[in-house]
Amino acid sequence: MEPQHDHHHLPGPSLWPVGFAVGIATLLVGLIVSWVVVGVGAAVAVVFGLLWVRELATGRELVAETHPVEDEGVPEKPTGPALPADAGGPALPVTSERFPRSKFLEGATLGLGAVIGGVVTVPAVGFAIAPAFLDQGHPGIDVGPMSDFPEGQYVVATFMENPSQGEVSRRTAFIRNNGMLNGVPSFTVISNRCAHLGCPVQPGGPIFDDKQKTVKSGENQITLIPTTPAGGFICPCHGGAYDTEGNRTAGPPVRGLDRYDFRIENGRLVLSELYSVSHVVGSGADAKIRRFDLHGPGQHVDGPEFWFYPVQAPH
CATH of the domain at 157: 2.102.10.10
Domain total in the chain: 2
Do residues 123 and 160 share a domain?
no
Q: Residue 122: name the closest of 14, 28, 18, 211 by CA.
A: 28
Tell me how far apart the alpha carbons of residues 9 and 190 are, in angstroms, rounded to a whole number: 71
Q: Is residue 246 part of a domain?
A: yes
Q: Are residues 299 and 166 in the same domain?
A: yes
What is the C-alpha separation between 190 and 82, in angstroms, rounded?
A: 106
Same domain, 124 and 169: no
How high is the pLDDT of residue 248? 93
Q: Which of 119, 136, 153 is the last residue of a domain?
A: 136
Amino acid type, 69: V
For the chain, helix, strand, coil in percent to 5 are 35, 25, 40
**Residue 79 covered by a domain:** no
Same domain, 179 and 120: no
Range of the domain at 125: 12-68+111-136
pLDDT average per 10 residues of sequence, the chain (315 residues)? 51 73 84 80 88 76 58 59 62 55 71 75 70 61 90 93 85 93 91 93 92 86 92 92 93 93 92 92 89 89 74 53
Both 150 and 266 in one domain: the answer is yes
Position 27 in a domain: yes
Give pTM, 2 decimals.
Answer: 0.59
**pLDDT for the residue 260:** 94
